């Protein structure tokens, strides 16, 4: 594979794509040789201390897609805490959720920054994450120590500090040995938030987690997720981003022992004015671990009359297979669907392989306009255009949504997607 194919892939609705139908670009399974330029993770350093990172100027690889002026000072130290996030943990999801967690194998604690468990998930790797770490005053630790039923989700709701306020948040979800849980991490509300979220999954444990970012229009959320994967542990992580002015998420997978199995799914739907950014690092440093990444995004313009900016999504998928990580099995995929002309999707898959002794490694990225052939096919059967579009978009997100184990959440997400489509009269 050439350096070109592993390089940035940008597509905008402005005319880059002329193919009716099929995706313009499909980088299909390939194995990357060492890239001539310095890989992002080689520059990567980690620290809990914000001062260990320089203030980003916007040219840095880590920050080049992010509109820094919209971060409200989270990146340069000028944002100080003027509020706090509200974190609640309930058994169940939606209307039927209950506050009572007695006998559920769940322990909820609010702890200070001196708690030794903090950092088990991972260490900040960018300045905003380090700022959050340096600035938070209380951390919420949710520990699960038994195998809960798949039908009994937990909901952790993180609510923003309110419009015009800034908060630094820290949430840690811990699954003890052989524990199992389905968890919805539901983010909502207003304000400016920088956060670290740790998902610490111990040996033999299994976590199915759906992280929803359904923020109010004003909200800015910059979060680092640190996933620690124990021996033979399983994580199914679904990241859903629907609302907010700017949402930037940086999940890092840290395998601790062999046998780790992680699937990262993602769904994002950006409208005019929204900037949604996902930067993933799957760090295969340990032998015999597995990863699958499937992120799907839809974008639509609907720029308001005030002349706001176009919808912009960024997806960076870094997969590193280190020399020691023999027997690695990995595949990552990102697909973006441009529903209108006024939208821009950047998609950059990176696969770096330092050992040939692997089961498999591949990546694919495709960004395309709405598939006109699909539209034609459905309309040729009498289905009106708007409905045909809805069917195709629902189908596009279907494989991500169907894997979510919480039916009420699936319904909510499907309704949210319908509402998005109706907003532009698609």
Query: How far apart (Å, rounded) are the C-alpha atoms in residues 95 and 413?
Result: 15
Q: How many CB atoms lie within 10 A of CB 425?
A: 8
Query: How far apart (Å, rounded) are the C-alpha atoms in residues 87 and 82?
Result: 17
Q: Looking at 120-128, 198-206, 308-316, 379-387, which segment touches other proteins (CB under 8 A)?
A: 379-387
Least separation in angstroms between residue 256's CB and other proteins is 35
Residue of 378, 408, 416, 424 that binds other proteins (CB under 8 A): 378
Q: CB-wise, 49 or 376, nearer to other proteins?
A: 376
User: Does residue 394 bind other proteins (CB under 8 A)?
Assistant: yes
Query: How far apart (Å, rounded) are the C-alpha atoms in residues 303 and 424?
Result: 10
Q: Looking at 82-90, 102-110, 158-166, 392-400, which segment touches other proteins (CB under 8 A)?
A: 392-400
User: Does residue 415 bind other proteins (CB under 8 A)?
Assistant: no
CA distance to 183, 244, 247, 419, per residue, from 142 (Å) = 11, 26, 24, 33
The size of the interface with other proteins (CB under 8 A), counted in residues, is 24
Residue of 68, 391, 416, 424 that binds other proteins (CB under 8 A): 391
Least separation in angstroms between residue 271's CB and other proteins is 22
- HEC string for 278-308: EEEEEEECCCCCEEEEEEEEEECCCCCCCCC
Residue of 58, 164, 360, 384 that binds other proteins (CB under 8 A): 384
Please answer whether residues 233 and 208 qualify as being in contact, where contact means their C-beta atoms are separated by less than 8 angstroms: no
Secondary structure class of 378 (helix, strand, coil): helix
User: Does residue 376 bind other proteins (CB under 8 A)?
Assistant: yes
Least separation in angstroms between residue 404's CB and other proteins is 14
- The number of residues making up the chain comes to 426
Secondary structure class of 420 (helix, strand, coil): helix
Say how far residue 156 (Cα) sits from the centre of its chain.
17
Query: How far apart (Å, rounded) are the C-alpha atoms in residues 422 and 167?
Result: 33
Pairing relation of β-strands 139-144 and 154-159?
unpaired
Pairing relation of β-strands 86-91 and 154-159?
antiparallel
Q: Looking at 27-35, 106-114, 196-204, 368-376, which segment touches other proteins (CB under 8 A)?
A: 368-376
User: Does residue 374 bind other proteins (CB under 8 A)?
Assistant: yes
Q: Looking at 84-92, 181-189, 277-285, 372-380, which segment touches other proteins (CB under 8 A)?
A: 372-380
User: Does residue 152 bind other proteins (CB under 8 A)?
Assistant: no
User: Does residue 387 bind other proteins (CB under 8 A)?
Assistant: yes
Residue of 53, 133, 221, 397 that binds other proteins (CB under 8 A): 397
Please answer whether residues 139 and 226 qualify as being in contact, where contact means their C-beta atoms are separated by less than 8 angstroms: no
Q: Looking at 101-109, 172-180, 342-350, 378-386, which segment touches other proteins (CB under 8 A)?
A: 378-386
Query: How far apart (Å, rounded) are the C-alpha atoms in residues 143 and 370?
Result: 43
Please answer whether residues 312 and 344 qualify as being in contact, where contact means their C-beta atoms are separated by less than 8 angstroms: yes
Least separation in angstroms between residue 335's CB and other proteins is 10
User: Does residue 382 bind other proteins (CB under 8 A)?
Assistant: yes
Q: Looking at 47-55, 196-204, 258-266, 375-383, which segment touches other proteins (CB under 8 A)?
A: 375-383
CA distance to 9, 11, 23, 340, 376, per residue, from 20 (Å) = 19, 15, 9, 14, 11
Six-digit token string for 322: 């280190």
Residue of 299, 388, 404, 406 that binds other proteins (CB under 8 A): 388
Least separation in angstroms between residue 122's CB and other proteins is 33
User: Does residue 385 bind other proteins (CB under 8 A)?
Assistant: yes
Q: Looking at 132-140, 253-261, 310-318, 385-393, which segment touches other proteins (CB under 8 A)?
A: 385-393
Query: How far apart (Å, rounded) are the C-alpha atoms in residues 225 and 420?
Result: 26
Least separation in angstroms between residue 420's CB and other proteins is 16
Six-digit token string for 277: 């950014």
Q: Looking at 46-54, 62-70, 302-310, 373-381, which segment touches other proteins (CB under 8 A)?
A: 373-381
Q: CB-wise, 212 or 388, nearer to other proteins?
A: 388
Applying the rule CB under 8 A, the residues between 17 and 76 that interact with other proteins are: 20
Q: Which of 73, 52, 13 is nearest to 336 (CA)?
A: 13
CA 299-32-277 angle, 5° bins: 25
Least separation in angstroms between residue 389's CB and other proteins is 12
User: Does residue 377 bind other proteins (CB under 8 A)?
Assistant: yes
User: Does residue 110 bind other proteins (CB under 8 A)?
Assistant: no
Residues that bind other proteins (CB under 8 A): 20, 372-374, 376-385, 387-388, 391-392, 394-399
């Amino acid at each position: 594979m050439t350096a070109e194919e592993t390089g940035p892939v940008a597509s905008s609705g402005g005319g880059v794509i002329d193919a009716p139908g099929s995706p313009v670009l499909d980088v299909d399974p390939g194995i990357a040789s060492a890239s001539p330029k310095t890989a992002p993770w080689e520059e990567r350093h980690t620290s809990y201390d914000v001062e260990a990172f320089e203030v980003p100027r916007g040219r840095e690889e880590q920050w080049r897609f992010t509109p820094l002026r919209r971060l409200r000072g989270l990146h340069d130290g000028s944002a100080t805490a003027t509020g706090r996030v509200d974190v609640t943990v309930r058994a169940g999801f939606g209307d039927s959720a209950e506050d009572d967690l007695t006998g559920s194998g769940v322990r909820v604690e609010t702890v200070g920054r001196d708690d030794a468990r903090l950092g088990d998930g991972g260490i900040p790797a960018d300045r905003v994450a380090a700022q959050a770490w340096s600035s938070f005053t209380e951390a919420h630790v949710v520990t699960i120590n038994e195998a809960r039923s798949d039908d009994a989700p937990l909901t952790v709701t993180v609510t923003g500090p309110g419009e015009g306020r800034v908060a630094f948040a820290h949430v840690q979800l811990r699954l003890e040995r052989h524990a199992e849980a389905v968890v919805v991490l539901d983010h909502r509300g207003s304000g400016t938030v920088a956060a670290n979220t740790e998902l610490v999954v111990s040996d033999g444990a299994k976590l199915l987690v759906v992280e929803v970012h359904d923020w109010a229009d004003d909200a800015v959320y910059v979060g680092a997720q640190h996933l620690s994967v124990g021996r033979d542990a399983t994580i199914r992580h679904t990241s859903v981003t629907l609302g907010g002015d700017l949402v930037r998420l940086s999940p890092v997978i840290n395998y601790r022992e062999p046998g780790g199995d992680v699937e990262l799914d993602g769904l994002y739907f950006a409208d005019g004015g929204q900037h949604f950014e996902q930067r993933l690092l799957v760090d295969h440093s340990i032998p015999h671990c597995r990863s699958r990444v499937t992120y799907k995004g839809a974008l639509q313009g609907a720029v308001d009359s005030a002349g706001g900016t176009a919808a912009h999504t960024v997806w960076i998928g870094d997969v590193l297979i280190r020399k020691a990580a023999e027997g690695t099995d990995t595949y990552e995929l990102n697909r973006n669907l441009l529903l209108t002309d006024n939208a821009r999707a950047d998609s950059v898959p990176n696969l770096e392989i330092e050992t040939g002794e692997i089961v498999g490694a591949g990546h694919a990225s495709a960004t395309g306009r709405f598939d006109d052939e699909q539209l034609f096919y459905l309309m040729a059967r009498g289905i009106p255009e708007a409905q045909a579009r809805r069917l195709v978009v629902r189908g596009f997100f279907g494989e991500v949504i169907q894997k979510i184990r919480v039916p009420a959440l699936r319904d909510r997400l499907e309704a949210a997607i319908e509402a998005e489509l109706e907003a532009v009269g698609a």
